[in-house]
Amino acid sequence: MELSSNIRRIGVLTSGGDAPGMNAAIRAVVRTAIYNQIEVVGIMRGFSGLICKQFIGMQSHSVSKIISQGGTILKSSRCPEFKEEEVRAKAMENLKEACIDALVVIGGDGSFRGANLLWKKFGYPVVGIPGTIDNDIYGTDTTIGFDTAINTAVSAIDKLRDTADSHNIIFFVEVMGRDAGFIALNTAIATGAEATLIPEIHTDIEKLCSYMEGDRRKNKTSGIIIVSEGEDTGGAFKVSKKVKERLPDYEIRVTTLGHIQRGGSPSCNDRVLASLLGHGAVNALIEGRFGVMIGQLNNQIVYTSFDEACSLRNEINKKLYEISRILSL
C-alpha cells in the first residue's frame, strides 16, 4: 500500500468497559503496522495511561498468542478527567514528546467522544475501533465482544432453565446493556425466554403480570424473563419486586449475570471481526482517513465519522422483538 501520510509511529489503547476480542484487535493493529514499517506504542489503561505517559513499545512477539485471550493486555479504564480540556492538552503534549504520530482507540462511544476531541481540537490523527459488549454503536453491524457476551449469557440462561423447570420458578435474569437492549433481545430469542424487557420499550408491569398469568393458564409452570439492566423500571430486582406484589403466590428468583458477560475467550466471530477492524484501522491512518470509526456493514469495511458514531443510535431490530414474543407463546 502506498503511504500517503508521514505516520511512522502509532499508539494504541483500549478504553471503557473491556470486551472479549480487544486483544485480537490490538494484535491486528500491531501486526498490520509492522507489516507497513510503522512502529507501535501500547498505551496502558486507556486515556489514563496517556495522561501519565504509561507507554510500552510493542513488537510482533508482544501480541503472540493473545488472540484467544479475553480482557485486554493493555488494560482499560474509565478516566473522567479526560473530559477536562487541560487534561487533554497534557495528553497531546505526551503524544508529541513520545513522537507518536497517530492513535488507535479501541472502545465504545464514550471513548470515541474523547478521541474525537483530540481530532477536532488539535487536528491529531485518531481512528476508532468499536469494542464493547453492548453493541450500541452506530456504523457497524456488531461491535467486538457482543457475540462472545451473548454466547456466555445463553449458556448461563440454559443452566437457569434447568432449575426453573425443576422447581417451578420464574427467573428474572438481568443482562448487561446500559442503554441498549441488544444483549437482552438476542439472548431472549436464543433461550426461548418467556418475556424480554429492554430500554427501548417501556416496561408495563400490569401487562407483564397478565402475560405471566396467561402462561400459567396454559400450564407453563416455570419461565425465564430477560431484563436488560437499562430497562426503565430500574433492572431485574425492581421489576421482580413489583411483579411479586401483584402475583404473591409465584415462586420468583432473580439472577444478575453481571461481569461474567465481559470476560472469557472471544468467539470465532469476535476474533475475525477484531482482526478485520484492527487491520482496517491502520490502513485508514495510512490512507489519511482521520476522525473516523472503522466498522463492518454487510461484510464491507466502512468508515463512519466520530461525529456520527457518537450522535446516532444503533437501533434494535423491532422485528426481532416481535418474533421473540410470537415464539414464546
Nearest to ligand ADP of 223, 291 (CB atom): 291
**Residue choice 11, 12, 15, 17 for contact with ligand F6P (CB under 6 A):** 17
Q: Does 270 bind ligand F6P (CB under 6 A)?
A: no
Residues 57-116 interacting with ligand F6P (rule: CB under 6 A): 78, 108
Closest C-alpha among 230, 15, 202 to residue 107? 15
Spatial neighbors of 4 by CB under 8 A, at least 6 apart, are 286, 287, 288
Contact between 13 and 55 under an 8 Å Cβ cutoff? The reply is no
Choose from ligand F6P, ligand ADP, none: what does 71 bind? Cβ within 5-8 Å by kind.
none
- H/E stretch holding 226: strand 223-228
Choose from ligand ADP, ligand F6P, none: what does 47 bind? Cβ within 5-8 Å by kind.
ligand ADP
Q: Does 178 bind ligand F6P (CB under 6 A)?
A: yes
User: Residue 10 has which C-alpha cell?
Assistant: 502509532
**Residue choice 76, 116, 132, 187 for contact with ligand F6P (CB under 6 A):** 132
Choose from ligand F6P, ligand ADP, none: what does 176 bind? Cβ within 5-8 Å by kind.
ligand F6P
User: Residue 135 has which C-alpha cell?
Assistant: 453493541
List Cα–Cα distances, 199 to 39, 141, 253, 326, in angstroms: 43, 19, 21, 20
Q: Which of 101, 134, 215, 270 is catalytic?
A: 134
Q: Which stretch binds ligand F6P (CB under 6 A): 92-100, 127-135, 285-293, 319-327?
A: 127-135
Q: Which stretch binds ligand F6P (CB under 6 A): 130-138, 155-163, 298-306, 315-323?
A: 130-138
Q: Which stretch binds ligand F6P (CB under 6 A): 96-104, 128-136, 159-167, 309-317?
A: 128-136
Please list the alpha-helical segments (H only) found in the chain. 22-35, 47-51, 85-97, 109-122, 146-167, 182-191, 205-217, 236-246, 268-286, 306-311, 318-327
User: How many angstroms separate the CA atoms of 223 and 229, rounded?
Assistant: 19
CA atoms within 13 A on the CB side of 207: 8
How many other C-beta atoms are found inside a 10 Å radius of the C-beta of residue 8? 14
Contact between 291 and 120 under an 8 Å Cβ cutoff? The reply is yes
Q: Given the rule CB under 6 A, which residues bind ligand ADP?
A: 15-17, 47, 78-80, 82-83, 107-111, 113-114, 117, 132
Active site residue 134: yes
Q: Does 271 bind ligand F6P (CB under 6 A)?
A: no
Q: Which stretch binds ligand F6P (CB under 6 A): 159-167, 170-178, 248-256, 302-310?
A: 170-178
**Residue choice 39, 101, 109, 134 for contact with ligand F6P (CB under 6 A):** 134
Count residues binding ligand F6P (CB under 6 A): 11
Q: Which residues does the annotation mark as catalytic?
A: 134
Q: Residues in the site for ligand F6P, rule: CB under 6 A?
A: 17, 78, 108, 132-134, 176-178, 229, 262
